[in-house]
Amino acid sequence: MRSSIAVLILLFTFSSSLFAQKVFEDRVFEENIQSVRIFPASVEYEAQMSSPVIELNGGIPMKLVFDDLAYDPDMYSAKIIHCNFDWTPSDLKEPEYLVDFNEFNILDFSYSIDTRIPYLQYNFILPRVTKSGNYAIMVYRGRDQKQVVLTKRFMVFQRILTVAAKVVPPSQTENRRAVQQINVNINYKTRELFDPKNNLKVMIRQNQRWDNTKLLKTPTMIREDIKLIEYQLFDGSNTFWAGNEFRFIDLRFVRSRGLGVKAIKMEEDVVYAEAGIDKPRPQGVYSEYLDLNGQYGIMNLERRNYELESEYMLVTFNLEAEPGNEVPYVIGAMTKWGNDPTSKMVYNKATKIFQSTLLLKQGWYDYQYAYKTAEGWNMTPFEGNYFETENEYEILIYFRDMGSRYDELISYTNLNPNKRRL
């Protein structure tokens, strides 16, 4: 009996060590797993492009969807991990944020219908959690947590504080026409905040990206008399490059060419598509049009069930640019913001075109081009920066109370003052 207890303790220690010092990211570890999305469960088509954020006890659960191109039914399990604001695992024990035992079988799957590349689509409604904050869902094969197939992040917030945020012309005049500044005011009359200067964390992200988030540090003013905290910084720490409206390609058709599609070829076992030739546009005049702020939506306008009847297509993107020491990447949600290996382009000497071929399910896709640098993605040489660009900003307010073992997400605001979505 003692040896069994010792083994259990050892296994628990080993399991805990797997998460020690680990930062969770949105990752897919197998090539056969495609079109991974996590979003608030809704019958609305736009929901799949929404940020993975829900309100604690709000009645709307989170939904995970992914396709398995291996086609043979497999048993997948899921585990929910509570994280700190920096996506490292928190010190909370599983029973402190979950009602159920923390291993869930993903049993809801459907076969694709008459597609050239067959696939299975898995759907999973995530369990209810009891604490606010950052969460990661880990999906693995069978019950073996060493065989992880994907991890996705989502957030659960409480509407405790009142937050006012707006996009304003930047304080730094040299980049006035190229960046957007986000000013944030926080009213904390409804929650006593101990030492907010050190225990409150204000994070802003642009277009649902985690690679360029801004963490606002020292507030410009704390008004204890009226319980108001202001972040109207002048050092550029609350500014983002404005960028440009996203390029797009319409893959909702296979029997005709959508916008941005140069050619489509239907073979017996696969569909090939070629995008038009894109060119850099850093110095052009800003042009306003509808986009999805870098996201994508699965859709099929030729058949009824767009999730199960949509084809997977091999899509080649073309960029006409001068070759140099740096190589351009195709970035957007469809390439996991450049983390997919196929996002790196290859120069075709015969055509003098950079190319990249991606496996994409029918739908509408936003994308841009960028160079990879030590500071992150540099889109400026290809896309330019225009203050008028419509971007989506999310303001996440984290707070760790005195003696607490985790970061609460006590407010969330989605800022999109000039929303122009398809």
Q: For residue 217, what pLDDT is reported? A: 82
* Collapsed DSSP state (helix, strand, coil) of residue 85: coil
H helix runs in 126-262, sequence order: 196-199
Beta bridge partners of 291: 421
What pLDDT score was predicted for residue 72? 86
| Residue given tokens 């052009």 in the structure block | 284
Map tokens 């469960």 to a residue. 41
3-state secondary structure of 338: coil
Residue 349 and residue 277 in contact, taking contact as beta carbons nearer than 8 Å:
no
- Quick one: pLDDT at residue 10? 34
114: which DSSP letter?
A: S
Task: Give the residue ranges of DSSP H helices in 141-212.
Answer: 196-199
Of 64, 59, 126, 133, residue with least CA distance to 96: 133
The closest of 76, 101, 93, 75 to 19, measured between CA atoms, is 93
The span from the CA of 388 to the CA of 36, in Å, is 31
Determine the length of the chain. Answer: 422
Q: Any idea which residue has 């306008």 for tokens?
A: 301
Round to whole Å and give the CA distance between 147 and 166.
44
What is residue 393's predicted lDDT score, i.e. its pLDDT? Answer: 97
Per-residue pLDDT of the chain (422 residues; tens, 9 = 90+): 443 333 333 333 334 434 444 899 999 999 999 999 999 998 788 899 999 999 999 989 999 999 999 988 899 999 999 999 999 999 999 999 999 999 999 999 999 999 999 999 999 999 999 999 999 999 999 999 999 999 999 999 999 999 999 998 887 767 888 999 999 999 999 998 998 888 999 999 999 999 999 999 889 999 999 999 999 888 888 999 999 999 999 999 999 999 999 999 999 999 999 999 999 999 888 888 889 999 999 999 999 899 999 999 999 999 999 998 899 999 999 999 999 999 999 999 999 999 999 999 999 999 999 999 999 999 999 999 999 999 999 999 999 999 899 999 999 999 986 565 55
Q: Is 195 exposed, middle or buried (0-12, 13-18, 19+ CB in 10 A)?
A: exposed
Backbone angles phi, psi at 411, to 5 degrees: -170, 150
What would the DSSP string read from start to end of 7-66? HHHHHHHHHHHHHTT-----EE--TTEEEEEEEE--SSGGGGGS-SEEETTSS--EEEEE
Give the pLDDT score at 179.
94
Beta-strand (E) ranges in 270-350? Answer: 271-278, 296-298, 312-319, 328-331, 346-348
User: Which of 396, 388, 387 has the alpha carbon at shortest distance from 415?
Assistant: 396
Contact indicator for 257, 263 with CB cutoff of 8 Å: yes
What is the β-pairing status of strands 239-241 and 363-373?
Answer: unpaired
∠ CA 368-372-378, rounded to 5°? 55
Q: For residues 281, 287, 290 and 293, what is the CA-based torsion angle, rounded to 10 degrees?
A: 50
Q: Which domains does the chain have, with CATH numbers?
A: 19-157 (2.60.40), 162-242+389-415 (2.60.40), 247-383 (2.60.40)
Distance CA 372, CA 382 (A): 12
Cβ count near 252 (within 10 Å): 20
Which tokens go with 90? 């928190």
